[in-house]
Structure 1
Amino acid sequence: MTPIYEVNTKHSKEMLYRFIDFDYKQRHARIPMHLIVFGICCFTVAALLYRHYGQIGSSIPWICVGILLVLLVFLRRPIAFLKLSTQDENYEKQNVIGFHFGHSEWTVKNEDQISRIQYSEINGLYKDKKYYYISTKENELFLLPFQDFVKGEFKTFQEFVEQKSGIQTQDLALPFKERYKRKLAQIKANQAKADEAWEEQRQKNREKAMEKKRQRQERKKK
């Protein structure tokens, strides 16, 4: 395979934090809200117990749980980094990971292991001011720093991978309102294509039915 784009990168501290932030925002965006709601519920129960019994003792466990839940909202990011940094061998060994993008497929080389991936397996493309994010149907996420492109321009990579995968890139650097508008426009466009395909299939089925009816009529005449 002759690569058109090549990226050689390492798992840096910044990359791990980017991975964590992406995972939280795209896959677990509601967790902070849930933690805060549960924390408020704990404080409410503590207040009701204190009001009923007039003693703080029965409320202390609920207060502690509420404080812990609220703290998790702010501490889960560094906790996740500590856990990920100790489990990621590529971060500990600082292995060079090579990405090679060809016409028909792309490969990921990590030491002596080479994974071949089809563009049809991509189910999500994202970017911010420094990275491309590629997610696959196998629930894998690959980060490509702009500065680590060694072949091909990172500015033209977006158009290339969009054409190969048929997936539109979501710009994470845009304000939420703008991203929502674009996502809504994409959903409407996909729905329009689906409606058009359904109408086309419906027309074909109608034509087939008419053809069968015509053939039956001709057989009756004979």
Structure 2
Amino acid sequence: MDWSPIWLTLRLAAITTAVLLVIGLPVAYWLAKGRSVFKLVIEAVITMPLVLPPSVLGFYLLIAFSPQRGLGLWLQQHFNIQFVFSFEGLVLASVIYSMPFMIGPVKSALQQLPSSLAQASYTLGKTELQTFIKVLLPNIRASLLTAIVLTFAHTLGEFGVVLMIGGNIPNVTKVASIAIYDSVENMDYATANSYSLFLFAVTFLIVMAVFIFNKRTAKIPLE
């Protein structure tokens, strides 16, 4: 079995999760504070990848960042950046496609915290940023861990969106899910099974680790 799709997949999942931590936490905090029509629209856009077929999202990303037209042409000419058929394009597509898995759990957890928690922090002279990092985030660590794991695990299994924008280039965009598809197309079920079994085992272990952590955090004894 060629291990390069596995390492590429793990690298993609790790980078996507890290980027979404930086982007998703402030966005989730902003969405959790109050309601408005504008925020509802933004939240709907962020949530759309949950119900939108991956091939649809991948197609529009392919059109938007094509180096022959529009935004893709502008990025190519001015910054020499090409997202189509590149690892950077996989990261971009994965960040967009996995965004609701990071933002959703964090936003819901923040909304469930009592407002008195933040008010008490402000009374003690803490800034909004300090309150968010030192008070609010520690109180939602279980939901935060769940969001991180869901984002990582979801990225491991992406297929349609990464195939559309990244293609099938060995050592560049050929992730494990695409390698499985290739193996099945070539009737190489043994290799497909090896890739599938590895992804299944990794996903199962990290999800189980989260369940155990959440039970211990909630002080629920394991039977």
TM-score where L is the length of structure 2: 0.24
More strand by share: 1
Larger RCO (CA within 8 A; separation ≥ 6): 2
Q: Which has the higher helix share?
A: 2
Structure with bigger gyration radius: 1
